[in-house]
Amino acid sequence: MNKRSVQKAVLSVVLGSYNRKNFLKLTIAGIRDELKRLSVKSEIIVVDGGSTDGTLKWLLKQKDIICIIQHNRGEWQGKAIERRSWGYFMNMAFKAAEGKYICMVSDDCLIVPGAIINAYNLFENKLNGGEKLGGLAFYFRDLPHDTTFHVNKTIDNTMMINHGLFLKEALEVVHYINEADYMFYHADDDLALKIKQAGYLILDSKNSYVEHFLHANIVLRQNVYETERSDYAFLIENWMPIFQINDKNKIHSRIDIEYNYKHPSLNKFYLLYQNDLKRIKYRHYKYWLNQKLKNFFTELFYISKYLGESLFLLFTNPKKLSEKLNKSKIKYFSK
């Protein structure tokens, strides 16, 4: 009996997500439009951290998406679920990917038409020309505040891939992302430096652009920012001595490009962003109000307790009450 031959994907698009259903839908729509025009077989892989906003229900209905679900928050059987790093989730997708090339994008971005196709063609040309290429960086801009598109560079002028194409072979050689030492930030710096150290080039794809909403789902990003300092410290400690760099201010730089384009879904993203702003303002107000009420009732409890004890002593032991009042340090009676 002849074995059935299954054609593998040549290009895999991977992204992680958590509670960003509406952003994710627009991102996936853009990816689908791009892959329809790609000349080779492709696949989409989404790793979800256990979303509770309806993302999982929506993902499970998408028959063209490979879904990996790894809960990263909450409790199970009375115990808190151990929080995993960004690298842990991305590595799951990288290892599951069939493609020769892996395109990494965020769930809060819009693919400018041609971005993936142009990068794929450039990658093929470079490899066929004998270059040892490990990755291509897409130009992106962080909305709503950026006006130009850019790519980032890290230690030793090394090109980083925030969004872009990796050669899976290169990822395998460097054992993927360092998921143990970086919680979220600067793991992409580290990955780029490992790829460079392994002898691969990382270049920019000048005809590949991405609109990235830096503050999509602001509530989530606020929690993530808290890890930046420790991640940065590890990057400095690990890599600066290797490249003999002493000035921390010379680590990061960027290349900017002017590119006039307005994505058809841009207005929808802005609307989602505005809704996020409203939610976070309400969350801040709710937190402030809860703290005020908590403080008020705590103080009311101690005042009531003090007054109750004082009234009891007034009728049972006036002398002891007098001594208590003289020694009292409660601010309400010491002023």
- In three-state form (DSSP H/G/I as H, E/B as E, the rest C), the secondary structure along 27-77 is HHHHHHHHHHCCCCCEEEEEEECCCCCCHHHHHCCCCCEEEEECCCCCEEC
Measured CA to CA, the distance from residue 312 to residue 314 in angstroms comes to: 5
Evaluate whether residue 20 is within a structural domain: yes
Helix (H) or strand (E) holding 151: strand 149-154
Q: Tell me: do 252 and 310 sit in the same domain.
A: no
Q: At a CB cut-off of 8 Å and minimum separation 6, what does 36 contact?
A: none
Q: Tell me: do 136 and 236 sit in the same domain.
A: yes
Per-10-residue mean pLDDT of the chain, 335 residues long, equals 77 95 94 96 97 95 96 90 93 97 95 96 98 98 90 96 98 97 93 97 97 65 66 91 81 92 79 71 63 78 78 76 64 44
Evaluate whether residue 270 is within a structural domain: no
The last residue of a domain, from among 211, 231, 264: 264
Question: What is the DSSP pairing of strand 11-17 with strand 158-159?
Answer: unpaired
Q: Tell me: do 255 and 299 sit in the same domain.
A: no
The CATH number of the domain where 53 resides is what?
A: 3.90.550.10
What are the contacts of 235-241 at 24+ separation with CB within 8 A? 235/155, 235/182, 235/186, 235/189, 235/190, 238/181, 238/190, 239/155, 239/189, 239/190, 239/193, 240/155
Evaluate whether residue 201 is within a structural domain: yes
Q: Tell me: do 239 and 290 sit in the same domain.
A: no
Evaluate whether residue 274 is within a structural domain: no
Evaluate whether residue 59 is within a structural domain: yes
pLDDT at position 228 is 81
Q: DSSP secondary structure string, 129-150? A: TT--EEEEEEEEEEETT--SEE
pTM: 0.80
Q: At a CB cut-off of 8 Å and minimum separation 6, what does 188 contact?
A: 160, 161, 162
How buried is 27 (Cβ within 10 angstroms: 0-12 exposed, 13-18 middle, 19+ buried)?
buried
Q: Tell me: do 66 and 122 sit in the same domain.
A: yes
pLDDT at position 327 is 65
Query: Residue 4 CB: number of other CB atoms within 10 A?
Result: 5
Q: DSSP secondary structure string, 79-138? A: EEPPP--HHHHHHHHHHH---SEEEE--TTEEEPTTHHHHHHHHHHHHHHTT--EEEEEE
The total of structural domains in the chain comes to 2
Q: Tell me: do 294 and 324 sit in the same domain.
A: yes
Measured CA to CA, the distance from residue 165 to residue 123 in angstroms comes to: 8
Q: Tell me: do 141 and 216 sit in the same domain.
A: yes
The last residue of a domain, from among 233, 264, 295: 264
Q: Which domain holds residue 87?
A: 11-264
